[in-house]
Amino acid sequence: MSTTSRGSAGKRRLLGEQLRALRESSGMTIVQAGAGIGRSNPTISRIENGKRTPLLIELKALADLYGADEETTAALLKLLSEIRDDGWWDAYKDVMPASLVNYVELEAEAASLKVFALAAVHSLLRTEDYLRAVLRATSPNAPAKEIDRLTAFHLERQRQCLLKAENPVELIAVLDEASLRREVGGRAVLRGQMEHLLNCMDNPNVTVQILPYDKGAHGALSGSFTILDFHDPSEPSVAYVGSPGGNLYLQKSPDMRRFDKTHAALRGSALDGPESERWLRNAIKEM
């Protein structure tokens, strides 16, 4: 049977079978494969059994680990591209940057996100006006319709992560004061953004802490980052760092210990919940 005649479930099983064959040809066990890409044994088993679609970064890592040649890897990637899991983000793939697809897929599986935002408010906490202002600044040549679609995408992402009825993602955000002093979209937009943060802090699954200037230098002056933790405790966490030069996904234990330690230190230096709320209210009054 050709792959074009298979549905997504069949293609998922076929992809799993091909990955299993590659693993066995390489002489690796499931345990070794999982350790090799920083994934749990059950995750590798679910992928091979066709019960879970591998993420793009996982498929590339497995192909590399098994020593697949370019032709085989290209065929695996093509098969993966034909599998539709009907994620909510599918409706926005016409405007989503390709580099963001991997992250959104990971975010959809996450149980909690530990984030640090340096230059701008984190995207899950932005108002519509703030979102539009950021998108216009970062994509100055994009048509108005594309800005509208990307804004809608991020607002839906907020709903899917933080506001869904069952198992909303826990967000623990540390915002550097620099992210709240930049007048993105103008003073009125920034004021609305600060008021929105106060509303977000009422959600039981959202924690926002402000890291003021007077706390001095800290361990994340080089930039923002996100740590994604998953429901399955055996599933290794992932640290995500986005930049204009490319996005990094770090999973090795030393990297994760470093990011976890940095985020914990940032939280320790930042104002606590009530203090952060007072900081925001005072900042609004001063505007």
Domain segments of the chain: what residues? 3-81, 91-286
Answer whether residue 122 shows pLDDT above 90.
Answer: yes
Answer whether residue 10 shows pLDDT above 80.
Answer: no
Answer whether residue 183 shows pLDDT above 70.
Answer: yes
The CATH architecture annotation of domain 91-286 reads 2-Layer Sandwich (3.30)
Answer whether residue 1 shows pLDDT above 50.
Answer: no
Q: What is the pLDDT of residue 5?
A: 42
> CA 275, 276, 277 angle in degrees (round to 5)?
90
Answer whether residue 105 shows pLDDT above 70.
Answer: yes
Answer whether residue 12 shows pLDDT above 80.
Answer: yes
Alpha helices (H) in the chain, listed in sequence order: 8-26, 30-37, 41-48, 56-65, 70-81, 98-109, 128-138, 144-162, 178-181, 187-200, 253-269, 273-286
In terms of C-beta density within 10 A (0-12 exposed, 13-18 middle, 19 or more buried), how is residue 114 classed?
buried
Q: Which of 184, 225, 171, 201 is nearest to 279 (CA)?
A: 201
Output 92 or 90, whichever has higher pLDDT. 92
pTM of the model: 0.78
Answer whether residue 233 shows pLDDT above 90.
Answer: no
Could you please state the CATH topology (level 3) that the domain comprising 3-81 is classified under. 434 Repressor (Amino-terminal Domain) (1.10.260)
The neighbour count for residue 67, using CB atoms within 10 Å, is 11
Q: What is the pLDDT of residues 19-61, one digit of tens each?
A: 999 999 999 999 999 999 988 888 898 899 887 889 888 999 9
Answer whether residue 179 shows pLDDT above 50.
Answer: yes
Answer whether residue 177 shows pLDDT above 50.
Answer: yes
Output 179 or 108, whichever has higher pLDDT. 179
Q: What is the pLDDT of residue 7?
A: 64
- pLDDT-derived band at 2 (thresholds 50, 70, 90) equals very low
Q: What is the pLDDT of residues 244-266, one digit of tens each?
A: 777 888 888 899 999 999 999 99
Instruction: List, edge to edge, every strand of the sheet that includes 170-176.
Output: 206-211, 170-176, 110-117, 225-230, 238-241, 248-250
